[in-house]
Amino acid sequence: MSNHHQNGNVAGNGTRSELALRASELSYRRLFEAAQDGILILDVDTGRITDVNPFLFKLLGFSREEMIGKTVGELSPFKDIETNQAMLERLQKNGYVRYEDLPLETRDGRRMAVEFVSNVYQAGDKKVIQCNIRDITERKLAEKMIRSERNFSETSLNSLPGMFYLFDQAGKFLRWNRNFERVSGYAAEELVRMGPLDFFTGDERDYIAKKIEEAFMEGAVNAEAHFTAKDGTRTPYYLTGQKIQMEGKPCLIGTGIDISERKKLEAQFIGAQKMEVVGQLASGVAHDFNNILGVIIGYSDLAKLELVSDSPAQKYIDEIRHASERAAGLTRQLLIFSRKQTVQPVVLDLNDTVRDLDKMLRRLIDENIELTIVPGKQAGRIRADSGYVGQVLMNLVVNARDAMPHGGKLTIATSNVTLDENYARTHAGVIPGDYVMLSISDTGAGMTEEVKARMFEAFFTTKPKGKGTGLGLATCQTIVQQSGGHIGVYSEVGKGTTFKVYFPRVEQPLNSDKQSAKGGPLPRGTETLLLVEDEASVRHLAAGVLEAQGYNVLRANNGQEGLRVARECKGQPIRLVITDVIMPRMGGKVMAEWLKTTYPDIKVLFTSGYTDDAIAQHGVLEPGVAFLPKPYTTATLACKVRAILDNETDTSILRKQGRTVNHPPGST
């Protein structure tokens, strides 16, 4: 019984095993048929296909019959797979072969990318090869798009003109662009250990910390601060910050833009506004101030004539006149710089101009300074206002003197030069061409780079308080630019300074009034003159000067009174009217036009202490109109009157009289 039962158990166990095996095979077959990946079964010895699931032959466009019995290499979609003996050897040796991105082309020409994985495994009593083929075309396309987006994002960030940064609330940088590395001077491996506050110092560090805190609380901020690079360079930057969420945590994304140029432009704009205010102020006070100075200068000259040469009062009057000349010079500088002064350009020989100023320049410098003038041979002619050129030269000589308190050498030279396109490219505003150069070189203290960067700024001075206005070089630059020229400087600390002033060279003939003689009395006359001036002190002074030279002077305090005086004049006819331009009730121009209708031969000399833009509105600055700006000296007035009466120039009158008139700064 036991044997029977034992045999029965064995038979029962075998049946159950066969059933389980068949169930397993059936389950595998169902999975094989339903799989959404392609599956090939190969004979391990021959490498030929013994089975293929429906998904694969539908995917490739082949029938099952076309694939059974073929090797993988014999099927056209798999021509790129390593086939035959080499592939089999790898499989037999390693039991595994994988192709991560295998390009396939189906029978209908559709291209795809597949993942191809082969395994050797035991199937019953023999080994087989199973190849799993998965279509990864969509995945690869998505990966390509991700890479493309990443590259686009990276390229975009790196092409930004400024810095880009992203950091979390703990202050750790998560991302930045190449400009951030370039500006900061830190490498990527250094930046990962740094935070945003590491680039700011002092009060600005606290300011940026508050701004970051504000951004995380309110969502967005902007700020201006000096970004400090690894080498210590501090650059003004405009910084932005926008709060975003990255992987569930708050971060700050932003940009930084270098605003150095904007800051420079702002400074220039503020400087321009300052000078506009100065110009308006100067224009407003010029008339009254010039009248006052004219009276002081005029009566100083008259007082000197009344004193004996050895009178102690002579030196007091000289000091009064000197102070007046300084005040007139300062007014002139303000008006020049604010471009409100009258410009009267003529053709000049620069050598003659320097030669005429020789004595005056030597009076400006100390005895321990050796002055040498080196005129260039056949130096060309320039077109400029002679008074302006003298102003430039005097300002530069005074600067050189102040740079050599213990003495030194001062050299003034002229020469012809040609500035080419290479020079023009490196010097803003320069037009290539022929120039006449005026150079002023000293052996003084020289200038630092900081001083050189600001030397042409209005009101900037390195001189002690009360010793300089800061307008000298600014005035020089304005004058030279108005003449179409250029001014450059070379200076080293302890080695001196050289200013080079370039005036455009012209071919026109010299102005006939470029020279004057020396010595002799003021020109005289007996004609009847009409003097119309609303400022009583100026009227009395001018009348006194002209009457002292023999003229019959009729006086009036405005245009209407001038017309009345002219109508009532019964004696010698009025030959010349000397009139202020701007007066109450009736100005000089209107009065002169009325007089011309009755007395067409009458001559007119206009005077004014107003700036040129004010008197230009009255048509006085037109070519051919005689004009004498205030303040003027007694000698200037006498010579101008005589020249107009004789239809001659001021300097020809001087040559006849054999004298030179010393004009104060600010007069012509």
Distance of CA 33 to the CA centre of its chain: 77
| Mean pLDDT value of segment 388-412 | 86
Question: Could you tell me the pLDDT band of residue 518, with boundaries at 50, 70 and 90?
Answer: very low
Give the separation between CA 488 and CA 486, rounded to whole angstroms. Answer: 7
Contacts of 394 (CB under 8 A, 6+ apart): 357, 360, 361, 364, 665
Question: Could you tell me the pLDDT band of residue 517, with boundaries at 50, 70 and 90?
Answer: very low
| Mean pLDDT value of segment 601-614 | 77
pLDDT of residue 237: 94
Higher pLDDT among residues 359 and 593, named by residue:
593
pLDDT of residue 555: 94
Question: Could you tell me the pLDDT band of residue 665, with boundaries at 50, 70 and 90?
Answer: very low
| Mean pLDDT value of segment 479-506 | 86
pLDDT of residue 271: 67
Give the separation between CA 443 and CA 496, rounded to whole angstroms. Answer: 4
Higher pLDDT among residues 147 and 489, named by residue:
489
- In this structure, of 50-64, 65-79, 371-385, the range with the lowest mean pLDDT score is 65-79
pLDDT of residue 644: 92
pLDDT of residue 613: 53
For the entire predicted model, the pTM comes to 0.41
Interior/surface letters 378-405, b for 16+ CB within 10 angstroms, e for the rest: ebbbbbbbbbbbbbbbbbbbebbbbbbe
Higher pLDDT among residues 666 and 33, named by residue:
33
pLDDT of residue 654: 47
| Mean pLDDT value of segment 181-197 | 91
pLDDT of residue 180: 92
pLDDT of residue 660: 43
Question: Could you tell me the pLDDT band of residue 516, with boundaries at 50, 70 and 90?
Answer: very low
pLDDT of residue 283: 64
- In this structure, of 32-46, 514-528, 619-633, the range with the lowest mean pLDDT score is 514-528
Question: Could you tell me the pLDDT band of residue 2, with boundaries at 50, 70 and 90?
Answer: very low
Question: Could you tell me the pLDDT band of residue 527, with boundaries at 50, 70 and 90?
Answer: very high
Question: Could you tell me the pLDDT band of residue 238, with boundaries at 50, 70 and 90?
Answer: very high
| Mean pLDDT value of segment 158-168 | 85
CB 215 within 8 A of CB 252: yes
Residue 404 has pLDDT above 70, yes or no: yes
Contacts 24+ apart (CB under 8 A), 541-544: 541/294, 541/295, 541/298, 541/299, 541/302, 541/634, 542/298, 542/578, 542/637, 544/302
Quote the tokens at residue 121.
């495994």
Give the separation between CA 400 and CA 407, rounded to whole angstroms. Answer: 10
| Mean pLDDT value of segment 417-445 | 87
pLDDT of residue 402: 86
pLDDT of residue 667: 35
Residue 514 has pLDDT above 50, yes or no: no
Question: Could you tell me the pLDDT band of residue 366, with boundaries at 50, 70 and 90?
Answer: confident
Write the CA distances from 192 to 107, 174, 205, 393, 591, integer angstroms: 52, 8, 19, 59, 83
Residue 155 has pLDDT above 60, yes or no: yes
Question: Could you tell me the pLDDT band of residue 642, with boundaries at 50, 70 and 90?
Answer: very high
Write the CA distances from 491 to 377, 405, 419, integer angstroms: 26, 17, 20
pLDDT of residue 236: 93
Higher pLDDT among residues 7 and 157, named by residue:
157
pLDDT of residue 111: 84
Give the separation between CA 573 and CA 569, rounded to whole angstroms. Answer: 7
Write the CA distances from 360 to 314, 341, 353, 366, 665, integer angstroms: 20, 23, 12, 12, 12
- In this structure, of 413-417, 419-423, 473-477, 525-529, the range with the lowest mean pLDDT score is 473-477
| Domains contained in the chain, CATH given | 35-140 (3.30.450.20), 160-258 (3.30.450.20), 346-506 (3.30.565.10), 528-657 (3.40.50.2300)
| Mean pLDDT value of segment 379-402 | 83
pLDDT of residue 212: 94
Q: What is the DSSP letter of 75?
A: S
- In this structure, of 133-147, 236-250, 602-616, the range with the lowest mean pLDDT score is 602-616
Residue 9 has pLDDT above 50, yes or no: yes
Question: Could you tell me the pLDDT band of residue 479, with boundaries at 50, 70 and 90?
Answer: confident
Interior/surface letters 638-653, b for 16+ CB within 10 angstroms, e for the rest: bbbbbbbbeeebbbbb
Residue type, 355: R
Strands (E), 149-248: 163-168, 173-176, 220-228, 234-246
pLDDT of residue 461: 64
User: 129 by DSSP, 3-state: which?
Assistant: strand
What does R_g of the chain's alpha carbons equal in angstroms?
49
Look at the alpha carbons of 260, 262, 263, 267 in this order and tell me if their dihedral is positive or negative.
positive
| Mean pLDDT value of segment 474-499 | 83
Residue 655 has pLDDT above 60, yes or no: no
Higher pLDDT among residues 414 and 19, named by residue:
414
User: How confident is the model over 254-278, as pLDDT tens digits?
Assistant: 999 999 888 887 877 776 676 667 6
- In this structure, of 87-101, 148-162, 394-408, 651-665, the range with the lowest mean pLDDT score is 651-665
Residue 227 has pLDDT above 90, yes or no: yes
Higher pLDDT among residues 485 and 561, named by residue:
561
pLDDT of residue 302: 81
